[in-house]
């Protein structure tokens, strides 16, 4: 997607160097000073490049527009459908506390066991050795089974998972809309279902000072979708009627709809940051501001 990713129209065979070696990822950011190392790393450049390339790719486009859906995208959707089905098969248990239903641990244990197999279904045979490495990002993307929480760090793991598949040449440059509008959007649906079913806590939430309890990327990509829209301006997303009429076309409004379903009371109180954003004059300014905020967070 960016110069650092081997994606400039190469075929799958060419995209994957023959002598690739894979390793199980381990936690490398342990102390504050590690953050500076991460910011200077190739991994950070790849990750942000991936986010920003997709940001450009979806600019001005509706979720409902026409685009190519490749075999790799179909396979990823099948993986997400499996995770969704497992939620159905793992109902919440009766417990005294309202939040953090322990049935999530049962659901997660199944993913923990099956993740490599699921990832292998997406990879071509010659890349089978990558499954253990890539699967870690999938497992990290659904929340924490000890704390039964979910937040933007888990979302970032899913974006990293997709970025890995791009680096491997499984996802290609013409998959951009399929990645955001089909795969990432389906991921959001499954995560919302997890959050609702198991009453997951927000992970590392900044309360009213955060953008949202659970997600960040759909606000970035969703605001890019709305750039130069003939009638919808940032001030409109706090209008319930506008959201109800347009949420199927725009990720940003889908997020707003979910917040209003989950939270009660005045929008300005429970989602103060978003309320402030609604006063920004244009979607391109909103988009630039959110990218800055994402990098800072």
Model-wide pTM > 0.75: yes
Scan for tokens 């490049």, then name that residue. 49
**pLDDT of 5 above 90:** no
Q: Identify the residue with better confidence: 10 or 128.
A: 128
Scan for tokens 């003939």, then name that residue. 230
The three-class DSSP label of residue 150 is strand
Give CA–CA dist 108/273, Å, rounded.
Answer: 32
Say if residues 13 and 126 touch (Cβ distance below 8 Å).
Answer: yes
Scan for tokens 């939270």, then name that residue. 263
pLDDT band at 260 (very low <50, low <70, confident <90, very high): very high
How many CA atoms lie less than 13 Å away from 41 in the CB half-sphere? 11
User: What's residue 20's pLDDT?
Assistant: 78
pLDDT band at 6 (very low <50, low <70, confident <90, very high): very low
User: What's residue 209's pLDDT?
Assistant: 75
Domains located in the chain, CATH noted: 40-202 (no CATH), 216-296 (1.20.120.1150)
User: What's residue 19's pLDDT?
Assistant: 63
Residues in CB range of 130: below 8 A, 6 or more apart: 20, 22, 119, 123, 164, 168
Could you read off the pLDDT of 169-225 as tens digits, one per residue?
999 999 999 999 999 999 999 999 999 999 999 997 676 678 999 999 999 999 999
The pair phi, psi for residue 150, each rounded to 5°, is: -150, 140
């Amino acid at each position: 997607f960016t110069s650092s990713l081997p994606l400039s129209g190469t075929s799958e065979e060419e995209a994957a160097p023959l002598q690739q070696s894979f390793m199980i990822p381990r936690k490398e950011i342990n102390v504050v000073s590690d953050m500076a190392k991460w910011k200077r790393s190739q991994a950070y450049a790849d990750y942000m490049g991936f986010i920003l390339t997709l940001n450009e790719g979806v600019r001005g486009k509706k979720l409902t527009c026409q685009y190519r859906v490749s075999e790799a995208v179909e396979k990823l959707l099948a993986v997400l459908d499996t995770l969704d089905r497992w939620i159905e098969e793992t109902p919440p248990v009766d417990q005294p506390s309202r939040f953090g239903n322990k049935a999530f641990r049962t659901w997660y244990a199944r993913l923990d066991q099956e993740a490599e197999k699921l990832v292998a279904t997406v990879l071509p045979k010659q890349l089978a050795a990558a499954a253990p490495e890539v699967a870690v990002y999938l497992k990290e993307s659904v929340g924490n089974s000890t704390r039964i929480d979910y937040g933007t760090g888990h979302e970032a793991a899913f974006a990293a998972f997709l970025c890995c598949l791009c680096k491997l040449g499984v996802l290609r440059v013409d998959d951009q809309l399929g990645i955001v509008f089909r795969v990432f959007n389906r991921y959001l649906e499954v995560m919302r279902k997890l959050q609702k079913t198991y009453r997951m806590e927000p992970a590392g939430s900044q309360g009213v000072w955060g953008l949202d309890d659970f997600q960040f990327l759909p606000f970035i990509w969703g605001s890019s979708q709305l750039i130069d829209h003939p009638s919808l301006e940032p001030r409109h997303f706090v209008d319930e009627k506008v959201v109800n009429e347009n949420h199927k076309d725009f990720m940003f409004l889908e997020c707003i709809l979910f917040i209003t379903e989950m939270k009660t009371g005045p929008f300005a109180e429970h989602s103060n940051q978003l309320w402030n954003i609604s006063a920004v004059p244009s979607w391109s300014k909103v988009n630039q501001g959110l990218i800055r905020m994402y990098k800072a967070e």
